[in-house]
Amino acid sequence: MDEGLSLHISLDLPRESELVAQTRRTLDGALGGAGVDEECRADISLALTEACANVIKHAELSTAYHVEVSVDRERCTIEVTDDGGGFDPSTVRPGDVLDDTGRGLQIVAALVDGLDVVSVDGLGTMLRFTKRLTWTV
């Protein structure tokens, strides 16, 4: 990727699980086309999938959510924002490794270099994560 080149994707999506795979493929295609290596793209894709799945499962008051992606030479930053009522992040307990659910934030945190969860009770939640990029070219 050229040093001066940047990538920005902004998506407003209905809260429907069917669109998560399309969103993931869109981002993966853009990152692959820019020259991000496959392993790095896989981490970003899984983190994005988990973040979107959390909105679909937990943001019950929301009918839509927003995905904002910014890429520069060093990192990819993704924000997933909903207006689903928010929650208190300090009350979230990590799921057991053998559980089928409840590990979304743990998975995202394990895949990325930085994770912030900002939630305002009664309003909504913003999940921001960053991943240092590795390049094939």
Edge-to-edge order in the sheet of strand 7-14: 7-14, 64-71, 75-82, 124-132, 114-120
pTM exceeds 0.85 for this model:
yes
Superfamily for 7-132?
Answer: Histidine kinase-like ATPase, C-terminal domain (3.30.565.10)
pLDDT in tens, the chain (137 residues): 456 779 999 999 999 999 999 999 999 999 999 999 999 999 999 999 999 999 999 898 899 999 999 999 999 999 999 999 888 777 776 665 555 555 788 899 999 999 999 998 889 999 999 999 999 96
Contact 74, 135 (CB under 8 A): no
Q: Where are the domains of the chain?
A: 7-132
Contact 48, 27 (CB under 8 A): yes
